Amino acid sequence: MSENHQYLTTGEVAAMLGWSPRFIDSLVRHEKLPGLEIRGEWKFERAELIGWLEQKIKTLDHTHVVELENQIATPAKDSEEYDPVTLQLSKAGILLDEPIQNKAELLRRLVDFSYETGAITDRITLLDSLKEREELCSTALTGGVAICHPRRTLKQLAAKPFIRFLRTRRPIAFGAEDLSDTQLFFLLVATDDRGHLQTLARLARVLDDHTKAALSIAKSEHEVYSIIQEREVTINRKRQAILSH
C-alpha cells in the first residue's frame, strides 16, 4: 500500500503515537476517531487518522487539549522525548511585520525563510506539501493565528524538527472558519507523526488569547521568543505539579 492508504491496527497506532490501546479505544468510542472494525479488530487509515487528530487538537476545548497533549507527551518504552517549542523555534527563526499580501506569498516566504536559516535544503518539496495541506483544509485557527505544516511527515526534508514564526505587517485572508484574517503564522515541520502531534498540541496550549495578543504587538524577535518561552514555562510548571500529585 502507498503511504496515503496505509492501514494500522490498534497496536500499531499505540506504538506509533506512544498511546495505550485503552486510550485509543476511548477515542473511538467517545470521540469518533475514524476507523473500520473488521472481525472485531479496529483498522485505521494512517493519513485519515493524523488528519483527524490535527483537527481535534485545533478544535478541542482547553481541558481536552491538555489531556490529549499529556497522552502524547508520555513516552512509550524506548521512544524519544521531543524538544519544547522554544528549542525548536530559536530566536533566529522569527520574522516580524513582513509585507505579505496573500496566502501564496505567505507560504513561499515561510519556505524561503526556512531555507535561509538552514532548516531545509529542498524548498520545492516543502512548498508543494504546504500547498497540498492548505488545499485540503486551511491551517488557520480562530483568533488570527495559523499553524502551517506539510500534508504528511517528510522525514527526508529536515535533519531535525523545527518551528518558524512570521508576523505579517497586516492581517491577510487565510481561510479561518470564522472568516477572520490572520497575522500570526507558525510553520511546524516534524520528522515523525508523534512528534508532529505533540508539538501541535503544545502550540495549541501556548497560543491562548493572552499570548496571541502579546505576539501581535511584540516589538522585537527577542520579545516574541520571550513571550512564547514564558508561556511554555508556565505550562510545564502546571504539568509537573499535576504529575507530582
The mean per-residue pLDDT over the stretch 125-153 comes to 91
What 3-state class would DSSP assign to 195? helix
Same domain, residue pair 139 and 239 = yes
Q: How many separate domains does the chain show?
A: 2
Q: Supply the pLDDT for residue 71.
A: 58
Domain membership of residue 79 (yes or no) is no
Confidence label for 70 from pLDDT (cuts 50, 70 and 90): low
8 & 91 share domain: no
What gap in Å lies between CA 180 and CA 176, rounded to an integer? 6
CATH code, domain with 41: 1.10.1660
Query: Where is pLDDT greater, at 35 or 126?
Result: 126
* Residue 72, domain member (yes or no): no
Same structural domain, 97 and 199: yes
184: domain CATH number is 3.40.930.10
pLDDT at position 238 is 75
* Domain assignment of residue 193, yes or no: yes
* Averaged pLDDT for residues 166-181: 94
Same domain for 159 and 107? yes
Residues 24, 111 within the same domain: no
Domain end marker among 11, 41, 59: 59
- What pLDDT is attached to residue 82? 55
Nearest to 187 by CA among 133, 227, 124, 122: 133
DSSP designation for 140? B
96 and 173 co-located in one domain? yes
94 and 53 in a common domain: no
In a domain, 77, yes or no: no
Which residues, including other chains, have CB under 8 Å from residue 190's CB and lie 6 or more apart? 149, 153, 161, 196, 199
Confidence of residue 79 (pLDDT cuts 50, 70, 90): very low
Domain containing residue 149: 85-244
- 134 and 151 in contact (C-beta within 8 Å)? no
Please, is 44 exposed, middle or buried when counting C-beta atoms within 10 Å of its C-beta (0-12, 13-18, 19+)? buried
Residue-level pLDDT at 68 = 61
Tell whether 179 and 229 lie within a shared domain. Answer: yes
3-state class (DSSP) for residue 170: strand
**83 has pLDDT over 50:** yes
pLDDT of residue 64: 54
Mark whether 186 and 135 lie in a shared domain.
Answer: yes
8 and 99 in a single domain? The answer is no
pLDDT band at 97 (very low <50, low <70, confident <90, very high): very high
> For position 1, what pLDDT does the model report?
39
Question: Do residue 49 and residue 139 come from a single domain?
Answer: no
d(CA 91, CA 147) in angstroms, rounded, equals 18
Residue 105 lies in a domain: yes
Other residues' Cβ atoms within 10 Å of the Cβ of residue 114: 23
76 — pLDDT class (breaks 50, 70, 90): very low
Shared domain check, 166 and 203: yes
Final residue of a domain: which of 44, 59, 74?
59
List, for residues 189-207, the tens digit of each pLDDT value.
998 888 888 888 888 889 9
